[in-house]
Structure 1
């Protein structure tokens, strides 16, 4: 892939939008373009973090294996996002595995160039900092959800996050625009495949979602939001309060 083609692919990304063409060429000087087939691994948990990446096309899944051997789906990466930035967190090894859920294209840079790269690209540095902050916030939210919310509420929240990240309007509703399995949802929400399958079947019967092989379409967004917000109780004044379960 030529430098000119690379420039045309990234110049409209938020990460690089403020750069001149000369600065884009400089940023791409040491970049490597990688085509990933579905199921291909970008890097694995525990591997030396020798590169950082930007996703140009497709979608990636980030998974982590806990000390007791349980696999957790941490998040999904959408086009335009920077990932694999262990260097920014002063980590020498990748804390998770990242793999393609569909054919994808990434750009990779050597981690040894991270400090110089962000010094010459303030917008990239700002977005990278935002990315780290968002991931910390997401981690805290997931801990809270696992501690305080019922399974149905957690699953509804997870699907809404995916819709917000990459939902596409169709004649049936809003479809998550990349392959997603029921097992993936289970790993995102700390529950079992059986429970997710049961919930999605119930929601399908109620007209909330359609789900098929690696596809989920939300048909009733308002109802799914209501489930994600949790149950309501009445106050003494008769006003509903969301997210509080009666004792």
Structure 2
């Protein structure tokens, strides 16, 4: 049976500020689940009956489009919620959730999560604010896809990942989980060939350093300049 310190929940914005006793209550209302790389947490179209928070590891959210292509909507890190909006609205999950690395999540049934919001109204308030932030981010992503060159979109995607999940290493900032060129293509509405060609050029010029499933941003100002066009 998995075990986790309830204080890990404080990484999630909606649980920040809760007392240790309240965090114990929130954790006890849910169920812990360990995840292996590649494991599917829920599938696009499944009934939205659970709310999820990541405690450790990385998860990616992938949507299959009507033409059969896939779009990586975002990567989830520790402290982030996922599946919650669809579940609370009684809607099917709009995308797949897949573990990228060994991960640990806590999930709540919708009735259990609604009861937590009733007992602790600040959870509901922060949940609404979090949903608004994601909607704003989605609007920005759509704007990028329709108005920017592909090199700009790839640069912005790498900057977001480096700022959110970067760790200092010799010579730059490494994205701290495995990410493939196909992932980048699906994040940016591009192709594997274009992403590979772009990264090769940036590697040669010293902006990035990439190997199999690993990317280091070596020149952050240079990458920012590409993103700004």
Alignment-derived partner of residue 105 in structure 1 = 104
Give, in angstroms, the shift of residue 17 of structure 1.
3.3
Rg comparison, structure with higher value: 1
Alignment-derived partner of residue 87 in structure 1 = 87
Say which SS state the counterpart of residue 28 (structure 1) adopts. Answer: helix
* 1:176 and 2:157 matched: no
145-154 or 7-16: bigger deviation: 7-16
Say which SS state the counterpart of residue 111 (structure 2) adopts. Answer: helix
Residues 140-159 of structure 1 deviation map (CA, whole Å, 9 limit, x = unaligned):
11211111110101100010
Alignment-derived partner of residue 216 in structure 1 = 215
Alignment-derived partner of residue 53 in structure 1 = 52
> When the two structures are aligned, how many residues end up with a matched partner?
228
Pick closer, same or farther for the CA change 1:176–1:2 going to 2, 3 Å. closer
User: What are the ranges of 5 or more consecutive residues in structure 2 without an aligned counterpart?
Assistant: none
Between Structure 1 and Structure 2, which shows a larger proportion of helix residues?
A: 2
Say which SS state the counterpart of residue 15 (structure 1) adopts. Answer: helix
TM-score (norm 2): 0.93
Residues 130-184 of structure 1 deviation map (CA, whole Å, 9 limit, x = unaligned):
2211221122112111111101011000100111111111002001111110000
TM-score (norm 1): 0.87
CA distance in 2, matches of 1:166, 1:122: 30
Residues 95-122 of structure 1 deviation map (CA, whole Å, 9 limit, x = unaligned):
1100111000000110122322222234
219-228 or 104-113: bigger deviation: 104-113
Partners of 1:82 and 1:128 within 8 A in 2 = no
CA distance in 2, matches of 1:29, 1:196: 44
Partners of 2:2 and 2:33 within 8 A in 1 = no
Alignment-derived partner of residue 144 in structure 2 = 145
Partners of 1:60 and 1:76 within 8 A in 2 = yes
Say which SS state the counterpart of residue 73 (structure 1) adopts. Answer: strand
Pick closer, same or farther for the CA change 1:9–1:142 going to 2, 3 Å. closer
Mapping 1:63-82, distance limit 5 Å = 63-82=62-81
Residues 174-215 of structure 1 deviation map (CA, whole Å, 9 limit, x = unaligned):
011111100000000001000000000000000000011111
Give, in angstroms, the shift of residue 12 of structure 1.
5.9
CA distance in 1, matches of 2:19, 2:105: 21
Pick closer, same or farther for the CA change 1:23–1:159 going to 2, 3 Å. same
CA distance in 2, matches of 1:95, 1:176: 26
User: What are the ranges of 5 or more consecutive residues in structure 1 without an aligned counterpart?
Assistant: 231-247
Cα RMSD of the aligned pairs, angstroms, is: 1.7
Say which SS state the counterpart of residue 209 (structure 2) adopts. Answer: strand
CA distance in 2, matches of 1:144, 1:12: 29
Say which SS state the counterpart of residue 76 (structure 1) adopts. Answer: strand
